[in-house]
Amino acid sequence: MKIMIVLASLLWSSFGFAAKTYQVTGPVLEVTDSKIIVEKGKDKWEMDRGEATKSDVKVGQKVTIEYTMTAKNIEVKEAKEKKKK
């Protein structure tokens, strides 16, 4: 199964569709099967966890998380007209 995932991601990236990746590093504040919360400076970063991120992470450990930003929905708003004086 892992081989299929690796091959699919290599194929996907070869077409130039790979999403830009980012990183956040900090101590783990909370971890469940579905999310992880890390602290970066004074901010708390909460991220969903997928099948590929099922590792033995514990609260207090310092981790580096690689992530992508993907739009789930886009709603177009009409521009407001400026009032004439």
CB 57 within 8 A of CB 26: no
> What does the domain layout of the chain look like in residue ranges?
19-68
Class of the CATH-defined domain 19-68: mainly beta
pTM score above 0.95: no
DSSP state of 5: H
Amino acid at 52: A
**Average pLDDT score over the chain:** 83
Write the pLDDT tens digit of every residue in 12-21: 554 555 679 9
